[in-house]
Every structure is written in structure tokens, then in C-alpha cells.
Chains A and B, each alone.
Chain A
Amino acid sequence: MDALSEFGGTLVLLLRDVMPIMAILFGFQLFVLRKKIKNPKRILIGMVLVILGLAFFLEGLEMALFPIGRLMAEQLTAPEFIYGADAVIPAQADWTEYYWVYAFAAAIGFATTIAEPALIAVAIKANQVSGGTIKVNGLRFAVAIGVAVGVALGAFRIITGTPLHWYIITGYVLVIIQTTFAPKIIIPLAYDSGGVTTSTVTVPLVAALGLGLAETIPGRSPLLDGFGLIAFASLFPIIAVMAYAQLGALRVRRQTSRTQTHEDNDP
């Protein structure tokens, strides 16, 4: 009974979330474009599936994965775990002792990104538009690796207490350099993939990790240092997706040059 009323609550929240979008879409369609919606039954069923699907998805995450993930983030960042139960906790955090935190940050960043529904949506669309050149899973893996690196680096930043904007600015300089060299066709998609990683699954777990770190490390404030991990998670996928395309282009170039030298050698 309890679970059922919780599910109902999630459903109501989602409806409140989706209603304005639907009102804008149908308002413009009916009053401005003055067009009947094609296949209204199919669209309606589809919308119901989207809302119901998200409700199941969020409720399931809240039941199974979020509590254990949050608990894990707390336990892994607890000083007793890092330095051992009897050890004296140093006033200055020793960043080398936090290896399990970096491993967890990277692993959970990667794993949650693979399950991110918005990313699946963009990957499906990119696959359709590119005529199959961009593989759905290839793009998702590239983005997930970017998030993994980003979140691990973000954890390192909170532990060492270095300023956020140094990292972000360095990252953007890298993005600018890559933009001049990467295949043109990938650039808009790479930029977009930064934004899709941070919707439903990644944010709650990554935020719990950031908060856990900021609360237990001496000299950090959860309010000031807890923020910023999401920025890392949306910057590094851009770099990773462009790198993925660059590697692909490099491989093609190497192959063509190899076949060319092969032909040159042939009498």
C-alpha cells in the first residue's frame, strides 16, 4: 500500500512536470498552426507510455539503487573507512588515501550514464540521422567514459580543495583545440552530449558523493564545495565524444594510407 501511494505521488509529480510541455505543444499546434495532430491516438498512447515509463523508472531507482548508492557514497567517504578505524584523522586531507573514492566516482559515473534515458534518446536519433555511421552504443560508451573521468576528477578537486574554475577553464581550452581538429560532423552532437548526461540517474548519486566528501573533509563546506560535480559531468563527455570521432577518423586514415602504400608496392 505504501509503495503504491508513493508510486502515485511520483506519477502526479511527473504529470505536473509534463503538463506545461504538452500544453505548449498542443496550444501551438491547434491555435497557431491550426493543424490536426496526425495519429492522435498513437501520440496519446506514446505520451502515456513516456510518463508511465518514467514513473516506473524513478520509483524503481528510489526503491533499489538510490538508497544503497547514497549509503555507499557516505561509507566510502567516511574518515573511518579512509584512514582505518583507529588511525588519527589528519587535519589536511591526504588525497592519495582516497583511491576507493576515485574508483567509485568513475565506476558510478560510467554505469549511471549507460542507463540514462535522455542519452539513449539522443543516441537513437543520432544513429537515425547519420544513417548508421554513429553507433548507438559507441556514442553511449564515449559519453560514459567522459562522465567517469569527469566525476573522478571532480572528486579529486573536492578532496584537494583546488578552485573549480581552473579545471573547467582548462577543459574548455581543450574543447576549443579539439573543435579545430575533430571531424566537422561530430561537433554539434559532441556539444549536445554534455547536456544529456545529467538528468535522472546520474545527478542524485553523483550529488550524494559530492555532499559526502564535502561534509567529511576538514575545511570543505557542503554548500560551497558540494556543487560543481555536475559541471564536470557535463564538460568531459564533450571531450570524450570528439576524441571518439578523432580516433575513428585516424583509424580510417591509417587504413587508407596502408592500402595505398600496398598498391604502390605492387608492380
Chain B
Amino acid sequence: MIAPLKQSFRSLRDSFMDLLPIILVVSFFQFVVLQQPLPNVAKLLAGIFMVMVGLTLFIQGLKMALFPLGEEMAFNFVRAGNLWWLFLFAFTLGFGTVMAEPALILISDKAAEVAAAGGMIDNNETAQASYALGLRLTVALSVGVALLVGVLRILKGWPVQYLIIGGYIGVVIMTYFAPPEIIGIAYDSGGVTTSTVTVPLVTALGVGLASSIRGRDPMLDGFGMIALAVLTPMIFVMAYGILI
């Protein structure tokens, strides 16, 4: 009974250390720069305690479920030997998680407003809704393709930098042809596709694949999937902006 208690106390303390920088920064700016008292201290402390508990539970769950699940599935796909199912799985995982991402729904609605204000589409609700949905589908498709290419890359052992640098050169070229209103959104859409649940899962999947295929190094080949999932939305969203 003592050992697990000690363990959870230690992980709570770790979580507190993770939060300490935020607490210090916020207090410094509040007291020293803005010279104002802290509003509602009790609520603040309760909130910080909840964040600590949440972080501790999340990391525990990560080690119990997300990591082993990702790795086990990678291992099973390699053993089953049917690569088409693996490709379909990677694509579905990317597409499905992005379509459900709340941050993206928010951003695509805002992007539709920008597009309407900039005169790219008609300034009414139906045009904006269809533009926003089109944008979400575009980003979801791009992340599906990213994970598919990421898996293919691990199987083939391609170095990730050629894909990424080639992709970024594509981004730079497209920036000159895309309408200016879409550029900021395109650059940002790469960042919002990677949620807290997908990142550990996709990382475990990549590392699992690279460790169960002979001749692949989990460090060199296992990482890199997230980078692809950040890159492809920029290209696809700019292409969407050019086409619409």
C-alpha cells in the first residue's frame, strides 16, 4: 500500500514541476510588470491542482494504453503481412482523427470568414459552410495521405529529410501562387492536426513498425510521421485555396 502511494506522490510532484514555469511566468507578469493582485486565488489553486492530477493520470494512461496499443498493432500488421490493410489503416487513422478534431472545426469556420471578407467566396452562410467543410475534408485527406506515406517510408527505409525538404520546397513555391488570405491559415493548419491523443499513438505506431521490420532503426525510421502530418496540410490547403 505504501509503494504505490509513494509512486503517485512522486508523479504528482513531477507534474507540479512541469507546471512551475507557467506559474512563475504568470506571477511575474501579474505582480511585477502589470502590478495587479491575483484574482480569485482559491479558484486558481483548485485549477492548478486539477491540471496536476490530469497530467499525472494522462501520463499513466499513456504508458498503459496508448503506447502498447500502437506498438502491438504495428507488430500485428507486420506479422499478418498484408500491407494493403496497413495502408488503409494508416489512412483511416489520419483521416478519422482529423475530421473529429474540434480545433480544426474552429479554425476552418474562421478561415471561411476570412475568405468571405477577402471576396474569394460569396459572403453568405451556405457558401461559408461549404467552404469550411471543404477545408476540413482537405486537411483530413492530407493527414490521411501523410500517415500512408509515413508508413510506406518506414517500409522502404527512405530517409525522412528528403520527403520533408522536398515538401517544404513545394510549400515555398506554392506560397507565390496561393491567394494571400489562405497562406496564414495554411501554415497554421499544419500545427492543429496533431492532437494530444494522436501524437503518442502515431509515434508508437511508427516506432513499433520500425522495430518489427528487420533492417530498420527505430530512431532513424520510427520517428518522422508527425512531421509529415504537419507538412501535408500546408500543401493541400494552399492547393485548395488555388483551386477554389
State which of A63-71, A86-94, A252-260 sits at the interface with chain B: A63-71
For the complex formed, measure the closest distance between the CB of B236 and the CB atoms of chain A, giving whole angstroms: 15
For window 162-209 of chain A, which residues contact chain B by CB distance below 8 Å?
164-165, 168-169, 172, 175-176, 179, 184-185, 187-189, 191-192, 194-201, 203
A28 to B72, CA, bound (A): 12
Decide: A54 near B58, CB < 8 A? Known: A17-B102, A21-B198, A32-B85.
yes
Docked-complex contact A65 and B51, CB < 8 angstroms = yes
Evaluate contact between A129 and B22: CB separation under 8 angstroms: no
Across the interface, do B43 and A172 meet the contact criterion of CB distance under 8 Å?
no
Q: Majority SS of interface residues in chain A?
A: helix
CB proximity of B228 to chain A, nearest CB, Å: 8
How many residues on chain A are close to B (CB under 8 Å)? Answer: 101
In the complex the two chains form, what is the Cα distance from A233 to B192 in whole Å? 11
B53, B97, B161 pick with most chain A CB within 10 angstroms: B161
A229: chain B residues at CB < 8 Å are 188
With a 10 A CB-CB cut-off, give which of B26, B46, B101 has the most chain A CB atoms: B26
List residues of chain A with CB within 8 A of the CB of B151. Answer: none
Once A18-B197, A56-B57, A108-B25 are accepted as A-B contacts, the answer to whether A233 and B191 lie under 8 Å apart by CB is yes
In the complex, are the beta carbons of B187 and A56 less than 8 A apart? no
Interface size class of B (residues with CB under 8 A): 35 or more
Q: Is the CB of B201 within 8 A of A21?
A: yes
Given contacts A17-B101, A43-B64, A63-B46, contact A195 B224 (CB under 8 A): no
User: What's the minimum C-beta distance from B146 to chain A, rounded to whole angstroms?
Assistant: 10
Closest residue of chain A to B230, judged by CB? A195
A185 with B220: CB separation less than 8 A? yes
B47 engages A60 (CB within 8 Å): yes
Which residues of chain A have C-beta atoms less than 8 A from B110's C-beta? 223
- Nearest residue in A to B58 (C-beta to C-beta)? A53
Contact with B along A18-36 (1 / 0, CB 8 A): 1111011100110011010
With A46-B63, A164-B184, A223-B113 as given contacts, are A60 and B29 in contact (CB-CB < 8 Å)?
no
Q: Could you tell me the distance between the alpha carbons of A75 and B159 in the complex, rounded to whole angstroms? A: 46
B240 at the interface (CB under 8 A from A): no
Contact check, B25 vs A199: say whether CB atoms are below 8 A apart.
Answer: no
Q: Contact check: which of B18, B117, B160 meets A187 at CB < 8 Å? A: B160
What is the number of contacts between chain A and chain B, taking CB atoms within 8 Å? 333
Taking a contact as CB atoms under 8 Å apart, the answer to whether B219 and A117 are in contact is no
| Complex CA distance for A54 and B66, rounded to whole angstroms | 13
Are B34 and A75 neighbours in the complex by a CB distance under 8 Å?
yes
By a CB distance below 8 angstroms, the chain A residues around B68 are 38-39, 42-43, 46
Collect the chain B residues with CB atoms within 8 Å of residue A230's CB: 187-188, 191-192
A16 CA to B99 CA in the complex, in Å? 11
Measured between beta carbons, the chain A residues less than 8 angstroms from B103 are 203
0 or 1 for each of B203-244: is its CB under 8 Å from A? (1 = yes): 110010000000000111111111101100000000000000
Q: Are B60 and A53 closer than 8 Å at their CB atoms?
A: yes
Known: A56-B50, A130-B219, A191-B164. A68 touches B26 (CB 8 A): yes
**Whose C-beta in chain A lies nearest to the C-beta of B48?**
A64
| With A28-B73, A46-B64, A192-B226: A59-B197 Cβ-Cβ less than 8 Å | no
Q: Kindly state the separation between the CA atoms of A72 and B65 in the bound complex, as whole angstroms.
A: 37
Contact of A231 among B22, B67, B187 (CB under 8 A): B187
- Do the beta carbons of A227 and B185 come within 8 Å of each other? yes
Let me know if B196 is at the binding interface, CB within 8 A: yes
Interface flag for A4 (CB, 8 Å): no
**Distance to closest chain B CB from A170 (angstroms):** 11
CA distance A224 to B198 in the complex (A): 29
Nearest B residue to A227 via CB reads: B184
Docked CA distance A242–B175 (Å): 26
Say whether, besides A61-B47, A223-B110, A176 and B207 are in contact (CB < 8 Å).
Answer: no
Closest to A100 in B: B33
A62 to B77 Cα, complex, angstroms: 40
Q: Is the pair B18, A188 in contact by a Cβ cutoff of 8 Å? A: no
| B69 contacts chain A at the CB level, 8 A cutoff | yes
Closest CB in chain A relative to B205 CB, distance in Å: 10
The interface residues of chain A lying within 8 Å CB-to-CB of B19 are 115
Q: List 13 A-B contacts (CB under 8 A).
A: A16-B100, A28-B89, A29-B73, A33-B76, A50-B61, A53-B55, A54-B58, A61-B51, A63-B43, A64-B51, A164-B183, A189-B223, A224-B184
Those 5 A-B pairs whose CB atoms lie nearest each other, nearest first: A64-B47, A46-B65, A46-B64, A57-B54, A60-B50
